[in-house]
Amino acid sequence: MNPVLTLPAFGPVLPEIILAAGALVLVLFGAIRGERSGEGMNLIALGLLAVTFVAVLMLPGERVETMYGSFVIDSFAKFMKALTLIASAGGVILSMDYMRREGISRFEYPILIVLSTLGMLMVISANDLIALYLGLELLSLSSYVIAAFDRDNVRSTEAGLKYFVLGSLSSGMLLYGASLVYGFTGNVSFPAIAGILQGQVGIGAIVGIVFIAAGIAFKISAVPFHMWTPDVYEGSPTPVTAFFSAAPKMAGMAMAIRVFIDAFPNIVGQWQQIIVFIAIASMALGSFAAIGQRNLKRLMAYSSIGNVGYALIGLAAGTVEGVQGVAVYMAIYLAMTLGAFAVILGMRRGNVMYENVEDLSGLARTHPVLAFCLAMIMFSLAGIPPLAGFFAKFAVFTAAINANLVALAIIGVVTSVVGAYYYLRIVKVMYFDEPGAAYDSMPAGVRLVLGLSSVFVVLFGIVPAPLVAAAGTAARSLF
């Protein structure tokens, strides 16, 4: 009897289909219009991301598997995909004026952003090791190219090359770990792996998990696989750096949660030690290494490393409360990061971009509103109440304490106090140092991103319920 071929349900993958089809349309439009298509391509890409965002919101909230079990949709996937799409849209908006003024506004850029976002959405919904790797490579290959997008700039070319070489190494490590897990379980599906790996597991599977953790740590720029981050952040065009610090972080953290909670839920004791080590190392390096930084983009790179460490505290807890804390943390981190980079993009006089902390001297007297917005974002990053960053850290620290990881929470508090130094130093420079010449007026898109980010950071404490409730629903869908 011949088997009947059944097609998978395509409804759950509608957002990915929209992005893939849209990328093809963008390629055709760009090929026909050539270099004249720059501004139009950005607007089309933004519209495409908006349509995809609506499609994500329309997805079912209950868990649905499709593509023969390799692709899953649940409330967690919806939440993280929504954050990723917001981050990607923010990256496109921040880049529009910058790329034009720097003379690098080419039609390939929004296409690469769309393809990278497609890879992120695939990673977030991956339900087996093969789908995870395919999505990760699509994300990575697009990222390598946009890091070196300013091809006439030596620093940008160097950033792309470093990212490619180290990224290839990390992909190999993740693939090797996946092959070990497959070899010792005979499955690539996360639910099947979870059913086999219970209690005491063999050393081979543990080594595989370690290599998978190493590959994931690179993608989220966690210690000890962070070495690419400061150089790539500094060398890439500033809007690209803003994109790297926001969108891939959402997808990378979602990937970490999906892998460890879905594939290894019955051996928390084995992988929890790995996550605790990575979290502590990331928080410590992010706090201490940033103290001596003068370049704002490098400082934000170390800030990003530290923030990943704080978010991993929630994952280390391995509980619903912990995952909820991570989801809240990443949403708030997204707003703070996009706002900070909007200010960096606003530091321009004529054709010269300024990137150093000293270039913010006296900003409160030349641009008081801009200085106030950046000060609120810096206070929030430092975790000072009643701003959003305080609630983000409070959520993950509380989850760690309730999971009997008190020492981890204490280390997080201590490193947070240390890290507050370089955030508050920026506020001091803006409000107490002598001012320099005023900067040019900010483009409308950059003002929009900064305004929305600042409002969210300041007012989150007044109306936290919608985000916290959505994060709670997302977390419960995994357990």
DSSP character string of 176-192: HHHHHHHHHHS--BHHH
Residue range 81-139, pLDDT digits in tens: 999 999 999 999 998 888 888 888 788 888 999 999 999 999 999 999 999 999 999 99
Distance CA 364, CA 100 (A): 28
Distance CA 326, CA 315 (A): 7
Can you read off the two tokens belonging to residue 232?
Answer: 């790539």
| Residue 180's pLDDT band (cuts 50, 70, 90) | very high
Can you read off the two tokens belonging to residue 201?
Answer: 């597991």
**Residue environment code for 96-132, b if the CB has 16+ CB neighbours within 10 A, otherwise e:** bbbbeebebbbbebbbbbbbbbbbbbbbbbbbbbebb
Q: 0.85 exceeded by the pTM?
A: yes
Domain borders along the chain are 268-479
Can you read off the two tokens belonging to residue 326?
Answer: 């991570």
Q: Are 180 and 207 in contact (CB under 8 A)?
A: yes
Residues in Cβ contact with 87 at an 8 Å cutoff, skipping those fewer than 6 apart: 243, 246, 247, 249, 250, 334, 338
Mean pLDDT of 49-54: 94
| Residue 7's pLDDT band (cuts 50, 70, 90) | low
Mean pLDDT score of the chain: 89
| Residue 1's pLDDT band (cuts 50, 70, 90) | very low
- Name the amino acid, one letter, at 303: S
Residue range 362-412, pLDDT digits in tens: 888 888 899 999 999 999 999 888 899 999 999 999 999 999 999 999 999
Q: Are 265 and 196 in contact (CB under 8 A)?
A: no
